[in-house]
Amino acid sequence: MSVASKSIDFAGKNLVSCGCSSNASFDRYSVRNYAKVNSKGWGSNHGTRKWVCYKRKSTQCRVSSMKTAEPTVNGGTLAIKGLTEGLDLKNYSETPISPASLFEVVADDLQTLNKNLQSIVGAENPVLMSAAEQIFSAGGKRMRPALVFLVSRATAELLGLKELTVKHRRLAEIIEMIHTASLIHDDVLDESDLRRGKETVHQLFGTRVAVLAGDFMFAQSSWYLANLENIEVIKLISQVIKDFASGEIKQASSLFDCDVELDEYLIKSYYKTASLIAASTKGAAIFSGADSSITEKMYEYGKNLGLSFQVVDDILDFTQSAEQLGKPAGTDLAKGNLTAPVIFALEKEPKLRDIIESEFSETGSLDDAIKLVKSCGGIERARELAKEKADLAIQSLQCLPQSAYRLALEDMVTYNLQRIA
C-alpha cells in the first residue's frame, strides 16, 4: 500500500550515466578495500570508469542509466522494493549494516575531521570548547560529514579528480559544526536532559553557556563558510541555518494541533533535518566540479534520505525503550509534537484526538495515546512513508558510476530502514 504524500518541490533533472560491459564481475568487498587503500587517490586509471559493474550471487550487473530503481548489487534498492511490496528487509540483507562498515571507505577522512574540529571551534574559548566537546563525544555517528566525503569521492570519480580538495574537507567540518550547534539549541528549546544517553550541554553548563556555545559555533561555521568563496555553496548552507529557525517556529506553532497535515510535517522535517543533509550532499558535488544535473541529483538524494531518517526516528520514539533511545520514549508526543505515526493514527481513531487535545492532563493518558498510535496502524503507515522516501533517495544515485562510495551511499539508505525492520 502506498502512502499518498506530495513531494516537496525542488529542482531535479533526469540523468543518464555511462554504461558498461555486462561481463564485468568485481566483488564489492575487494572494491571497497581498493577504495579504502586508495582513499587519497584513485590511481592512474581513475578516469576510465572500470568499476562500473559488480555481481552479488546471481544478480546481474546493472547499467546506472535506469530511470527507475533496479536491484543493486548490495541489495539496497532491492531491499526497499521488497519492503514496499510487503516483504521483509532481512530477506535481502545478508548481514546487518553498521555505521562503522558504512563509513569504512572514508575512515581516514573522518579521522582527519575529528582532529580538525577542536582547532576549528577554537582553543581560545575553553568553556565553549568544553561545551562543544560534550556533544562531539556523545556517540554521534558523524553521518553528515561522512556523506560529504562519500559524495565528494563518488562525484570526483566522475570528473577524474585524484584527491579531495581543501574545500571538500572544510565543507565537512562546517556541516558538523552547524549540526552540533543545532543540537545544542534543540536541547535547550526542548528542555531535554539527555542526548544519546549523556547529559545535555545546558544541563552541565547552564542555559546561558549552551545558547552561547551554539551561537558561537554557528558564527564560526559561517566565517569558515564565507572563506570558501563559493557563492552557490554559501547561499546553500546559509539557507540551512534559516531553515533550522523556520522548522522550530513551525513546530512550536503546531504543538498539540491534531489538524496538522502530513505535508506540513514533511516540510517541518525538511527544515529541521533534511535541509542540512541535502545541502551537504549537493555542496560536496559542487566542489567536485559536477554539473547542475549531478548536483541536483545529489540534493535529491540528501533530501529524501534526510526525510526517511526523520520518519524512522519518529517511529523509534514509539517502538524503542528509553535505554535504546538515550531519552524517554514518547518524548515528542508528550510535548505535543505530532509526528508521522500520530498523524496517520489520528485518521482512524477519534479518541486519540481527545487525549492529545487534553494535553495528557489525566494520569496514564500518554501511555493510552501511545497504545492507540500502535494499534491504529500509525507505525505501519509511517514505515511505508520512510520506504517511499528511501526509494527516491536510491533512484537519485543512478547518475553515479559504480564504486565503493556509491555502494556506501546505497547502504546508508538500507541501514536506515534496517532500524525499523
pLDDT at residue 196, as a whole number? 62
Distances in whole angstroms, Cα of residue 78 to Cα of each of 92, 95, 162, 190: 7, 15, 31, 38
- Tell me how far the alpha carbon of residue 3 is from its chain's centroid: 21
Predicted confidence (pLDDT) at residue 267 exceeds the cutoff of 60: yes
N- to C-terminal Cα separation, the chain: 17
Residue pair 240/279 in contact by the 8 Å Cβ criterion? yes
Residues 73-92, mean pLDDT to the nearest whole number: 43
Predicted confidence (pLDDT) at residue 399 exceeds the cutoff of 70: yes
Q: Which residue type, as a one-letter code, is found at position 335?
A: K
Q: Which residue has the higher pLDDT, 89 or 129?
A: 129
How confident is the model over 149-164, as pLDDT tens digits? 999 999 998 888 889 9
Residues 288-296, mean pLDDT to the nearest whole number: 97
What percentage of the chain exceeds 70 in pLDDT?
Answer: 72
pLDDT at residue 324, as a whole number? 73
Predicted confidence (pLDDT) at residue 25 exceeds the cutoff of 60: no
Q: Which residue has the higher pLDDT, 135 or 231?
A: 231
Q: For residue 412, what are the contacts with CB-CB under 8 A and spacing of at least 6?
A: 102, 143, 147, 150, 305
Neighbours of 353 (CB within 10 A): 15
pLDDT at residue 88, as a whole number? 47
- Tell me how far the alpha carbon of residue 337 is from its chain's centroid: 20
Predicted confidence (pLDDT) at residue 10 exceeds the cutoff of 60: no
Residue pair 269/307 in contact by the 8 Å Cβ criterion? yes
* Closest-CA residue to 32 (of 93, 94, 102): 102
CA atoms within 13 A on the CB side of 80: 30
**Rounded distance between C-alpha atoms, residue 407 and residue 154, angstroms:** 10
This prediction's pTM: 0.78
Q: Which residue type, as a one-letter code, is found at position 359?
A: E
What percentage of the chain exceeds 90 in pLDDT?
Answer: 53
How confident is the model over 307-366, as pLDDT tens digits? 999 999 999 999 987 677 666 778 899 999 999 999 999 999 999 999 999 999 999 999
Distances in whole angstroms, Cα of residue 173 to Cα of each of 21, 224, 327: 38, 9, 27
Tell me whether residue 230 is exposed, middle or buried, using C-beta atoms within 10 angstroms of its C-beta: 0 to 12, 13 to 18, 19 or more: middle
CA atoms within 13 A on the CB side of 310: 24
Q: Which residue type, as a one-letter code, is found at position 281?
A: T
Residues 236-264, mean pLDDT to the nearest whole number: 95
Q: Which residue reads 534520505 in cell numbers?
A: 305
How confident is the model over 93-111, as pLDDT tens digits? 546 888 778 899 999 999 8
Predicted confidence (pLDDT) at residue 22 exceeds the cutoff of 70: no
Which stretches does DSSP call E strand in 145-196? 194-195
Q: Which residue has the higher pLDDT, 77 or 181?
A: 181
Predicted confidence (pLDDT) at residue 130 exceeds the cutoff of 90: no
- Tell me which of 213-222, 262-271, 374-383 is least confident: 213-222
β-strand 194-195 against 198-199: which pairing, if any?
Answer: antiparallel
Residues 9-37, mean pLDDT to the nearest whole number: 40
